[in-house]
Structure 1
Amino acid sequence: MEAVFKSDRGKIRKLNEDAGGIFRNHYAVLAVVADGMGGHRAGDVASEMTVKLVEKKWQELSSELKAGAAEDWLRQTVEEVNAELYQYAERHPECNGMGTTLVAAICTHDFISIAHIGDSRGYVIDQSRVVQMTEDDSFVNALVQSGEISKEDAEQHPKKNLLLKALGTKGKADPSIKTIIPEHGTLLLLCSDGLSNKVSEDEIAAAAAQKLPLDEMAESLIRLANDHGGEDNITLAAVKVLLPGEGGETL
């Protein structure tokens, strides 16, 4: 199973408030992307804390997770991280109001389980067909879902960046979780909105169709986002599933 993580500050921002990583154990790969918010360094605190907490809980796992158990683990982990972020901000006034998006996926040869909160996204690419697996937890996407505005209108809406859900809030986080069955060559792409706001699904499909090494494909997508303006931090994690017996290698 091939995997890569890349993050770029972009062309405008002075600070990279995104975080993430690829974390392996003996049977699975965990991919994580978090996009912090809050300003005055609170955004990068939130995203970095989130990734470190998720990684710590992942490394503490002592047994293999099946699909249903993976969903349960993701849900519990997101809730625990949400509570820890909120309590940290309560104890540190300089971090008041900090928060972060999160998209995280457990990837095995048998299943991929994706947890999501905020507007960082998860895509699955099969045979150059790009499918968005997450729905943005945003004010504008709620208007799109209700039919009040079109997807085209949403791209230019003045409240495009207003989130309805994020980690670091009081109470339950209530992440969205999906599980799919991968095929040989299935490509999972997790990214912050610095990529998804600048690179279209057609451009993602075109990059995947070039059959470049995963590292080069990731670099090309980040370069494209910067070429299109690069106003935000740009972060992605990509995992390609290579099934045993189909020319694939072990994890």
Structure 2
Amino acid sequence: MSLDYRAHSETGPVRRNNQDSAYVSPTMLVVADGMGGAAAGDLASSVAIAELKRSDAPRPPDEMLEVLAGAMNRANDRLADLIAWDHQLDGMGTTVCGAMYGQGVLQMVHIGDSRAYLLRDGDLARLTHDDSWVQSLVDDGKITEAEAAVHPHRSLLLKVLNGQPTHDPDYPTLALRAGDRLLFCSDGLCGLVDDQRMRELMLGHPLDRAVTSLVDAAHRAGGYDNITLILADVVPFDPTLQAAPPQTLGAAEHVDIPKVAPAGVPGDNGPTAIVPAVDAAGVPEPGDQAVPPDAAAPVTGASGTSAPMAGTDTDERIRYTPMTRRRRRKWPWITAIAVALVLIGGGLFGAYH
């Protein structure tokens, strides 16, 4: 079988820049939703897409899990290196929701709250589980799905790809059938349009019309987030579809990823040290530019907001705060402790006299 797909990524009517990224090919479909408040969400999503793109090739199903896991590990390491190179990037991260496809098998990878859906025989099923705090409340029976959809903290994430070693993605596997329809999307769609409405817009419509209808529905619901989606039909084998060129969309289409030395490499030359990125065959990747930290990718904006009508930088800084222990600089704490000790010592000395 083959995949007949359409992909779309846009900033939306409210946001100022697109921090979502996507990549599609006959053997891979991926959506990444960058985040991080003042840090570079568009850079984070571009890193994830770049590493997954390097691993894209026709593969037997028994190799796909290992390939995807390796790409995610490399992406996470690359984010960690960028954060070590420029501490202003600390806090950036990205969701990843995608899959490799081959021989009727869909090997998925998921972290964060971007989603994958399967429309089969008229029924729409969610294939992924949100790594969000609100979803954990639903799992514990503390709130309902309807309450979760309007919860003020529905976008607070428990797991993202952000350079930390503690967040492991999920890797579900699915056997596909001819006639299945797949949807991968950022929460700019599924956070605004409920599952039932998405089912209605996907059912019985050609791919192009369905994509347009889904985007329009997100706009009518406020459109306050970046909107990225991939819609794919499983069809009988088609050589033309198999030969379709890959496409990169959203932030990953234009963001240059700085090439920096891995953190802690002996003999590196400080924050501007550079090592060339290479593809799977060991060939240096074209197009990336080495830039100083203050000229890195734009660091304004994030993936969404905590309130439907929010859209300012202040609102973006409180959006998508991953619940993880972050690196903290020591000098401010050391200085504060030293000042406190001096004040206490001076007070005791004065009291003694």
* CA offsets 1:57-78 (integer angstroms, 9 cap, x no match): 22xx5xx423232122212221
- Asked if residue 153 in structure 1 is aligned to residue 147 in structure 2, the reply is yes
* CA offsets 1:97-131 (integer angstroms, 9 cap, x no match): 10000001112341111110000001011122111
Which deviates more, 200-209 or 136-145?
200-209
Q: Aligned partner of 1:193: which letter?
A: D
> Does the C-alpha gap of structure 1 residues 91 and 196 become closer, same or farther in structure 2, counting only changes over 3 Å?
same
Q: 2:32 aligns with which of 31, 34, 52?
A: 34
Q: 1:173 aligns with which of 167, 177, 189?
A: 167
**TM-score (norm. length: structure 1):** 0.89
* CA distance, structure 2, for counterparts of residue 156 and residue 67 of structure 1: 39
Query: What's the counterpart of residue 212 of structure 2?
Result: 219
* CA offsets 1:124-162 (integer angstroms, 9 cap, x no match): 111221110000000110111111211122122222111
Contact residue 109 and residue 242 of structure 1 kept, 8 A: no
Query: What's the counterpart of residue 22 of structure 2?
Result: 20
The percent identity for this pair of structures is 32
**TM-score (norm. length: structure 2):** 0.64
Query: What's the counterpart of residue 234 of structure 1?
Result: 227
Contact residue 61 and residue 103 of structure 2 kept, 8 A: no
- What's the offset of the Cα at 1:2? 0.6
- What's the offset of the Cα at 1:249? 6.7
- Find the residue that maps to 1:36 and give its secondary structure: strand
Q: Aligned partner of 1:150: which letter?
A: T
- Asked if residue 68 in structure 1 is aligned to residue 66 in structure 2, the reply is no
Q: 1:131 aligns with which of 108, 125, 132?
A: 125
Query: What's the counterpart of residue 53 of structure 1?
Result: 51
More strand by share: 1
Contact residue 67 and residue 179 of structure 1 kept, 8 A: no
* CA distance, structure 1, for counterparts of residue 61 and residue 167 of structure 2: 21
Contact residue 118 and residue 136 of structure 1 kept, 8 A: yes
Query: What's the counterpart of residue 268 of structure 2?
Result: none
- Find the residue that maps to 2:7 and give its secondary structure: strand
**How many residues were matched structurally?**
240
* CA distance, structure 2, for counterparts of residue 184 and residue 123 of structure 1: 16
* CA distance, structure 1, for counterparts of residue 13 and residue 39 of structure 2: 18
Query: What's the counterpart of residue 79 of structure 1?
Result: 73
- What's the offset of the Cα at 1:41? 5.7
* CA distance, structure 2, for counterparts of residue 89 and residue 215 of structure 1: 39
* CA distance, structure 2, for counterparts of residue 155 and residue 211 of structure 1: 26
Contact residue 242 and residue 248 of structure 1 kept, 8 A: no
- Asked if residue 108 in structure 1 is aligned to residue 102 in structure 2, the reply is yes
RMSD, matched Cα: 1.8
> Does the C-alpha gap of structure 1 residues 130 and 8 become closer, same or farther in structure 2, counting only changes over 3 Å?
same
Larger Rg: 2
Gaps of 5+ in 2: 243-353
Gaps of 5+ in 1: none
* CA distance, structure 2, for counterparts of residue 44 and residue 201 of structure 1: 27
- Find the residue that maps to 1:236 and give its secondary structure: strand
* CA distance, structure 2, for counterparts of residue 156 and residue 250 of structure 1: 40
* CA offsets 1:209-246 (integer angstroms, 9 cap, x no match): 2322x2321121011101111011110012211123xx
Contact residue 30 and residue 107 of structure 1 kept, 8 A: yes
